[in-house]
Structure 1
Amino acid sequence: MSDKDSPAFRVPKHLRKPTQTWVKSVLKDFDLEEHHFKLLVLAAESWDRVCAAREIIDAQGMTYLDRFDQPKARPEIAIERDHKIVLARLLREISLDGVDAPEAPRMARTADYGGRR
């Protein structure tokens, strides 16, 4: 059982207001241990990064021209992609949807992984 009023379960102030509201609703609806709360905060931070990157992409477009006038993907594209992956993995790890992670571990990579072409 967790004590949700303890300092360990304080919602960080650096999160966006809607994200803070989401974290509070999760705390209200789920009985999380302290290590799960830390994963929840990481997920919330990743969501904020996705939103921040999306705002820049929406305002400035997906590409820019480099010094040779060649189009390049904005760095925010990678930030958005990477944090979506992180968010999905963290939410799966916390298993807020009530579905536990599969009991069997993932298959190991083969010895020639990465060398195939």
Structure 2
Amino acid sequence: MATPKPPDHLRAATKRWWRSVVDDFDLEAHHLRLLTRAAEAWDRGEEAREAVAQHGLVYTDRFGAPRARPEVAVERDSRTGFARLLRELSLDVDTPETPRPPRTADYGSRR
């Protein structure tokens, strides 16, 4: 089977990372989709990080109150999504991990 090419819309550095993962791991079609989503999350987070670096963490709304820039949440959410997708792909472990047990009704309650 021919080596798949990274999506054109990814940044150059992210394309290189995508190719290195494809070269190093035996991935099936559904893994390639997850890898692509992880790469997109990384790029989106980088875009948001650059916007925060340019414009700052907060802006002043029309009432004069400071508000967090929307890019702060985009960066955070992209980072979380990237980490979860990597965990789902299990790229950093040699043996399969036991999946985490599902949350129960008393999850987080203190007794």
- 4+ aligned runs moved over 3 Å, structure 1: 99-102
1:109 counterpart residue number: 104
Contact 1:64 1:73 in 2 (8 A): yes
Find out whether 1:12 has 2:32 as its counterpart. Answer: no
* Secondary structure of the corresponding residue to residue 67 of structure 2: strand
1:39-77 CA-to-partner distances (Å, cap 9, x unmatched) read: 000000000011000000000000000001110000001
Identify if the C-alpha distance between structure 1 residues 72 and 97 changes in structure 2 by more than 3 Å, giving closer, same or farther. Answer: same
Find out whether 1:25 has 2:20 as its counterpart. Answer: yes
Contact 2:5 2:19 in 1 (8 A): no
* Secondary structure of the corresponding residue to residue 7 of structure 2: coil
- Correspondence for 1:68 among 63, 73, 78: 63
1:77 counterpart residue number: 72
Find out whether 1:34 has 2:29 as its counterpart. Answer: yes
Q: Percent identity at matched positions?
A: 48
Unaligned runs of 5+ in 1: none
1:87-108 CA-to-partner distances (Å, cap 9, x unmatched) read: 0000001111125564254242
RMSD: 2.1
2:82 counterpart residue number: 87
Q: Distance in 1 between matches of 2:80 and 2:96?
A: 16
* Secondary structure of the corresponding residue to residue 59 of structure 2: strand
Unaligned runs of 5+ in 2: none
- Correspondence for 2:41 among 33, 40, 46: 46
Aligned length: 110
Give the drift of 1:20.
Answer: 0.3
TM normalised by structure 2 equals 0.88
